Structure 1
Amino acid sequence: MRTVRDAAFDELRRHGLTTLFANPGSTEIPLLADLPDDLRFVLALHEGSVVGAATGWAVIRDEPALVLLHTTAGLGNAVGALATARANRAPLVVLVGQQDRRHLAHEPFLTGRLDSLAGDYPVRVETPLRAQDVPGALGRAVHAARTGRGPALVIVPMNDWAEPAEDLPAPAPAVLRPADGARAESVAEVAALLTGARAPALVVGAAADSPGTWSALVALAERLGCPVWQESFGARAGFPQDHALFAGHLPADRGRLRAALAPHDLVLTIGAPVLRQYAYAEGPLVHPGTRLALVTDDPAEAHRAPVELAVLAPLADFCTRLAARVPPRAADPVPPPARPRPAPPAAGGPLRTAHVMTALAERLPADTVVVEETPSGRPDLHALLPARAPLGFLSAAMGGLGFALPAAVGARMAEPRRPVVAVLGDGSLLYQVQALWTAAHYDVGAVVVVLSNGRYAIMDRLVEKAGGKGPWPGFEDISVHGLATSLGCPAERITDHGRLLAALDAAVPTLRTRTRPLVLDVAVEPDPAFEP
């Protein structure tokens, strides 16, 4: 007898969802027992790692990844990671197990009140009304994840999988084609704004992180002769950061933001929010003489943007047409001065984050995926380790910790020959250190550089800035090297500059071919000049 489980597997195959990231429980046994050989099962030891690895996979491949979570505990543990996936525009199809449908009304053990547990972060949540609706729900979730750029949940009671696949309703479309062209009127309207501006500037963001959009934005910026800023707290790079017109990362406080954009009478944001802030401050985003416009493929981003013109369009096509339409202008922009690379530390002197970033910048191939999660080290990374290729930088747009390590694992699994290096603080590592086991068990050749200072340096600086003292202790007694090796991951402890250079010189040539992860546990001292 053909079952709902059989039909569901066929639906997943039809959409290419044959790798399953999971941390399962008893309600998923009917689905997973004797899993077909063509379906790949990837175990992570915490649901944050499950969703984080799937997010890395989905971002690198630009296609949905498949996740399996275990009722209330699994979905509850994963909510923060699902929020990050939504902010990172990562398409995920998330199967959530539920107790047996036949006694749900009595709320048996392991029943989950699941429909609203993840709040508004999923782009779609569906609990099929009957078992035979499960395959169609999976197809609908695939399309919702793609078009909504986020996690789509399907909640399945455990007995549904064994039900007969009779009278299945018509499935979701095998292929759904979104609008793929920009309207000529919209292109003309934005071109007119740029042509009429005295001193335009571009702000780019994560949604522009594709080869086609990068190429189009380079052409547009060069025709305009204008600076290109990266959005603050961006999850991905929207422009080659080694280009002469790249102006840097926008500050995330209003005073410095207004100062940075003051020379410009028009700021066109492409593929990013307008203009993302951190701590609230009084005053407008820009000076009164600066006009704001937006081009995005995200309806929610367009709806909330404080601009005079917002355009919804596919970015690569729109920017290509826009670059061809605006006339070239004579301009001689002055790029901001490059941040000088630090001198090596004196013999026996402490390593700083800038020393590590400089060493990485001098060695990493241009197409390396750098996955970042080091709040106190991010300014040094941005200044010294620019993104030079699409998908060259990946971070958590939501801001919560626990993303970088599992995302690096998923990214490397998605592209096994592309170099992947995670750069994170030891505090960040501890949120999802379990992901090292997955990397080791599945022979994932990512390199993890841990900036170990035994404290939450960003929190220390923020509380000092507020004029107080934090109640939290340091955690210098935790051994990152020991944790990594206990999880089966090779690791090196590095305490001096010479050893850092030697370790990188040994590891970097292997980045494309290595099949084992490596943790470099680098002891660093916080930079006393760091300003949060």
Structure 2
Amino acid sequence: MSVKSTVHTVTYDLLRSLGLTTVFGNPGSTEETFLQNFPKDFQYVLGLQEASVIAMADAFAQTTRRPALVNLHSSAGLGNSIGNLVAAYHAHTPLIVTAGQQHRELLIGDPYLSNRDAANMPRPWVKWSYEPARAQDLPEAFMRAYAMAVQPPAGPVFLSIPLDDWNHPLEGPAVVRDVSRTYAPDPERLRRFAERITASRRPALILGPDVDRARGWQAGVELAERLNAAVYSPPLADRASFPEDHPLFQGSVGMSVKAIGDRLAGHDLVVVIGAEVFRYYPYVPGDILPAGTELLQITDDPAVAGAARVGDSLLGDALLSIELLTAMVGDGSGRAQPEPMPRRHDLPETERSPLTPDEVYATLSRARPQHAVFVNESTSTMAQHAEWLPAVEPDSFFATASGGIGWAAPAAVGVALGDRDRGVTRPVIALIGDGSFQYSVQGLWTAVQQNLAIVYVVMRNHEYSILKSFAELEETPGVPGLDLPGLDIASVARGLGCHAVDVTSTGDLEKEFILALESGATTVIVVTTQPEKTML
């Protein structure tokens, strides 16, 4: 007697054909019908809280450059995940996020665990959101979700699935479709851009996160060298897209209207590729662009192009656009060579107590292993990271794209799992502030359970340092809730199964960092540091 196919069997066959065999999740009663008889060729990555689950899947998808499948619990679990779903949306990460819904026959009465408006709940932080009208529509909904997630601009999508849909009889197989993941720029418009760039006397390139996502690192180097142009990183970049030790690299363009306008003074043309114009943080008024400066933007996201307050835009894949542009622009060898960015490598002879962030990063720089990937969520020390640990390879720097905290601790897990999935071995190092670490600390448990070699360096300055800098900028004295006394981070980490140590000197930090790299296990190093005033 043959076994009849169901929505469950047909959907799982579809997921196999799409390569979606890793499921990141935290199960609930409305998800168990999906997870029943979980196939042996699938992997379930358990996170202990839904925000951690989303961040793991986000970093996994970014690292593998494949969409990731997420399974959350009804409306409550989806609600827990929203903060990191915002980060995935801004990072253009293709995620297929699912959540269980109550039994269809109960929905009319708003039962316990139902999502009253499932399709609207995750908006606007998903590209598409849907609850199938019929159980038999579910495989087709998954196929559409996949297509929507991977097409540019890539991003998360959401499916709400009533728990009784999975056992519904259904003839298979599901229809499998293939869709384009890139598109080329308008050739005539690109030619006009190339003419304006060739005519520029002192151009500046700003290469954003989408360049690295599109595998455009080397292409960006070739374009910059052909133009002999200064290269900047955009404000608050969540990935690095240009070697930060390159002679043409000039550092970050800044974070405020005034800082960016001042930084770009002297350039007659600014070319922004794969980034927003601009991702501002503090409000410091000024001119968006200096007088006499023009701007060109290339992006695969129409919304990003539409939101730009200045300049002319062109829609196209970052890598294709850069390659085509490099072949069109004139040689820039006649332009004056930009002055190399000054780098400060001097520290006081006497070690501070507590250590300064510069001393911490300098120590890590001395012991930095080759081909390391860094995940950073120490908001007040990003400048020190850029100074002492410049990105020198593609896919080697990750940060949250949203500005919220609680992303990096589980994201490091996603990076390590993504490396394992694609057969790559490299050190994964997460640099996190003590405040950020509390938001998704449960991600450490997953790292331990998955036997991942991750070194977490937690800088313990006993406060939300970045917010104290903002309080000064905004002239708001007496703000409560900015101090963080009494956190025993190492003990919490040990409770989740990690090896954890507290250090107070550069010597101990270097020793423990090297031991952690050699151990092949998940290690948390807590280093006491002085608060850092951030220049905003």
Structure 2 length-normalised TM? 0.94
| Structure 2: distance between partners of 1:210 and 1:366 | 21
The partner residue of 2:57 within 54, 57, 61 is: 54
The partner residue of 1:490 within 494, 499, 504 is: 499
> Residue type matched to 2:460 in 1?
S
| Structure 2: distance between partners of 1:19 and 1:32 | 12
Taking only aligned residues, the RMSD between alpha carbons, in angstroms, comes to 1.8
Alpha-carbon displacement from aligned partner over 1:267-308 (angstroms, at most 9, x marks no partner):
010000012211234343012311011011112112222344
| Structure 2: distance between partners of 1:152 and 1:280 | 32
List alignment gaps of at least 5 residues for structure 1. Answer: none
Q: Equivalent residue for 1:66? A: 69
| Structure 1: distance between partners of 2:37 and 2:295 | 56
Alpha-carbon displacement from aligned partner over 1:122-172 (angstroms, at most 9, x marks no partner):
111111111111111111111111114111111100000011014x69625
Q: Equivalent residue for 2:267? A: 264
- On the 8 A contact 1:450/1:521 being kept in 2, the answer is yes
Asked if residue 435 in structure 1 is aligned to residue 443 in structure 2, the reply is yes
> Residue type matched to 2:154 in 1?
R
> Residue type matched to 1:134 in 2?
L
Deviation, structure 1 residue 259: 1.3
Deviation, structure 1 residue 320: 1.2
Deviation, structure 1 residue 228: 0.4
- On the 8 A contact 1:128/1:156 being kept in 2, the answer is yes
Q: Equivalent residue for 1:325? A: 328
Q: Equivalent residue for 1:357? A: 361
- On the 8 A contact 1:211/1:390 being kept in 2, the answer is no
Deviation, structure 1 residue 205: 0.6
Q: Equivalent residue for 2:167? A: 162
SS of 2:483's equivalent in the other structure is coil
Q: Equivalent residue for 1:240? A: 243
The partner residue of 1:108 within 106, 111, 134 is: 111
The partner residue of 1:3 within 3, 6, 21 is: 6
Moved over 4 A (4+): none
Deviation, structure 1 residue 100: 0.4
Q: Equivalent residue for 1:221? A: 224
Deviation, structure 1 residue 244: 0.7
Which stretch has the larger CA shift, 311-320 or 427-436? 311-320
| Structure 1: distance between partners of 2:503 and 2:157 | 42
- On the 8 A contact 1:366/1:389 being kept in 2, the answer is no
Q: Equivalent residue for 2:123? A: 119
Deviation, structure 1 residue 180: 4.2
Q: Equivalent residue for 2:455? A: 447
Residue pairs, 1:371-520, within 5 angstroms: 371-416=375-420, 417-465=425-473, 466-472=475-481, 474-509=483-518, 514=520, 516-520=521-525
SS of 1:311's equivalent in the other structure is strand
- On the 8 A contact 1:363/1:508 being kept in 2, the answer is no
Which stretch has the larger CA shift, 16-25 or 349-358? 349-358
- On the 8 A contact 2:207/2:232 being kept in 1, the answer is yes
> Residue type matched to 1:389 in 2?
E
| Structure 2: distance between partners of 1:177 and 1:210 | 16
> Residue type matched to 1:54 in 2?
A
| Structure 1: distance between partners of 2:41 and 2:182 | 33
Asked if residue 340 in structure 1 is aligned to residue 344 in structure 2, the reply is yes
Asked if residue 301 in structure 1 is aligned to residue 304 in structure 2, the reply is yes
> Residue type matched to 1:241 in 2?
E
Alpha-carbon displacement from aligned partner over 1:324-382 (angstroms, at most 9, x marks no partner):
22121223333354331242662573211111211222332353221110111111112
Q: Equivalent residue for 1:150? A: 155
- On the 8 A contact 1:64/1:145 being kept in 2, the answer is yes
> Residue type matched to 1:253 in 2?
S
> Residue type matched to 2:343 in 1?
R
Q: Equivalent residue for 2:281? A: 278
- On the 8 A contact 1:293/1:308 being kept in 2, the answer is yes
| Structure 2: distance between partners of 1:459 and 1:525 | 15
| Structure 1: distance between partners of 2:123 and 2:510 | 46
| Structure 2: distance between partners of 1:460 and 1:407 | 26
- On the 8 A contact 1:122/1:150 being kept in 2, the answer is yes
- On the 8 A contact 1:408/1:420 being kept in 2, the answer is yes
| Structure 2: distance between partners of 1:473 and 1:126 | 40
Q: Equivalent residue for 1:204? A: 207
- On the 8 A contact 2:217/2:241 being kept in 1, the answer is yes
| Percentage of matched positions with identical amino acids | 36
| Structure 1: distance between partners of 2:33 and 2:130 | 20
> Residue type matched to 2:41 in 1?
D
Structure 1 length-normalised TM? 0.95
> Residue type matched to 2:437 in 1?
L
List alignment gaps of at least 5 residues for structure 2. Answer: none
| Structure 1: distance between partners of 2:461 and 2:239 | 26
Alpha-carbon displacement from aligned partner over 1:202-230 (angstroms, at most 9, x marks no partner):
11110011574111111111111110010
The partner residue of 1:28 within 27, 31, 34 is: 31
| Structure 2: distance between partners of 1:278 and 1:333 | 31
Residue pairs, 1:89-100, within 5 angstroms: 89-100=92-103
- On the 8 A contact 2:248/2:340 being kept in 1, the answer is no
Which stretch has the larger CA shift, 18-27 or 496-505? 496-505
Alpha-carbon displacement from aligned partner over 1:405-454 (angstroms, at most 9, x marks no partner):
11100110110312211101010000000001111111111111101112
Q: Equivalent residue for 1:367? A: 371
| Structure 2: distance between partners of 1:308 and 1:261 | 14
**Structure 1's 336 and 33: CA in aligned 2 closer, same or farther, altered over 3 A?**
same
> Residue type matched to 1:506 in 2?
L
| Structure 1: distance between partners of 2:379 and 2:107 | 44
